Copies of this chain bind each other. A is one copy, B any other.
Amino acid sequence: MNTSKEHITEWLKQLQDSICASLEAADGKSAFREEQWTRAEGGGGRSRVIEKGAVLEKGGVMFSAVSGETPEFLLKEQQHSNIVGAGTPGKHQSTFYATGVSIVLHPQSPMVPIIHMNIRYFETVLPDGREVKWLGGGIDLTPHYVDTNDAKFFHQTLKSLCDKHHSDYYSKFKTWADDYFFIKHRNETRGIGGIFFDRLSESEAMSFEQNLAFWKDVGTAFAPLYTELIRRHKNEAYTEENKQWQLLRRGRYVEFNLVYDKGTKFGLETNGRIESILVSLPALASWVYNFPIMTGSAEEKTLQNLQKGINWLSFE
């Protein structure tokens, strides 16, 4: 398998194309608008945004590939990376290359879940000449109302995908997602989680090529997974109360993204393209002081399921 950055970049662009096509077909009304942008320090991106669709109220499928001199804080972070081999003599100019596809979709209907997916590739030359490269990514689901059948389907799909590559990946990356997509100040998970992983390069068990194959499968799994969830729920009836609850849950989504999300923070702190970074925020969100939760209500049940460590595969 070709593991060059050129190949990975090209693959990501095609993934963006195919995901947008699938989502437009599932929406049936609205189309993505594209904007290409460049970054002064190097590279750029292709932002694709859909708004006011029949199914999708607002969403972005964003591709970017940026490069340049490695910022100091990125260099420091590489101490957590798995760096192999010895350096070469002399001091080297450290450059980096980062490319990825990021998706957040906010549906019109409170019965259709919010979804997020991100896959990214990063490489850099360290000042001692060694090269670092790794893969990261994740996919997680944020239902406004937790549907346990959907949760089982979603997690089972991710587990089967992971199991094809490594028997530990699902349990490891599912736990990672529970920990990552957590709104600490609310003591709630953002949704029902999924998988999250970072700094995947090569290990005793897995070559970089093998991890790249896993990573591609995550990207490829996105469209069939989400379009199936759309199909299941897009025609479901809902009330004004359901809509109000959706706006409140979107408020929580905003809280997570602005307070905790590392990708968002990274973008805000590195002077990224602000409209692309914050396309993850919903068209409309609400905050109500001390919102009352009725005993036995669907809202109460949902809150009880927004906790870490739930095994959705055997959930009754």
Stretch of A158-166, A205-213, A251-259, A295-303 on the interface side: A251-259
Contacts A284-B247, A289-B49 given; does A274 touch B58 at CB 8 Å: no
Tell me which of B35, B279, B285 contacts A284 (CB under 8 A): B285
A residues 266-316 near B (Cβ < 8 Å) are 268, 271, 274-275, 277-279, 281-290
Determine the residue in chain B with the shortest Cβ distance to A184. Answer: B268
Tell me, rounded to whole Å, the shortest Cβ–Cβ distance linking A86 to chain B. 40
Contacts of A251 in B (CB 8 A): 281
Number of copies: 2
A159 to B286, alpha carbons, bound, how many Å? 36
Q: Residues 217-256 of chain A: 1 if any B CB is under 8 Å from the residue's CB, otherwise 0?
A: 0000000000000000000000000000001000100110
Contacts of A60 in B (CB 8 A): 289
Q: Does A185 have its Cβ within 8 Å of any Cβ on chain B?
A: yes
Determine the residue in chain B with the shortest Cβ distance to A275. Answer: B290
Contact B283 A286 (CB under 8 A): yes
Contact A281 B287 (CB under 8 A): yes
Interface size class of A (residues with CB under 8 A): 20 to 34
Contact A289 B284 (CB under 8 A): no
Determine the residue in chain B with the shortest Cβ distance to A291. Answer: B275
Determine the residue in chain B with the shortest Cβ distance to A272. Answer: B185
Q: Does A186 have its Cβ within 8 Å of any Cβ on chain B?
A: yes
Contact B51 A289 (CB under 8 A): yes
Contact B274 A185 (CB under 8 A): yes
Point out which of A51, A184, A283, A285 has the most chain B C-beta atoms below 10 A from its C-beta.
A285
Determine the residue in chain B with the shortest Cβ distance to A280. Answer: B287
Point out which of A49, A51, A255, A287 has the most chain B C-beta atoms below 10 A from its C-beta.
A287
A residues 184-209 near B (Cβ < 8 Å) are 184-186
A251 to B290, alpha carbons, bound, how many Å? 20
Contacts of A255 in B (CB 8 A): 258, 278
Contacts of A271 in B (CB 8 A): 185
Contacts of A279 in B (CB 8 A): 289
Contact A282 B287 (CB under 8 A): yes
A186 to B247, alpha carbons, bound, how many Å? 24
A residues 157-191 near B (Cβ < 8 Å) are 184-186
Contact B274 A186 (CB under 8 A): yes
Contacts of A286 in B (CB 8 A): 283-285
Determine the residue in chain B with the shortest Cβ distance to A268. Answer: B185
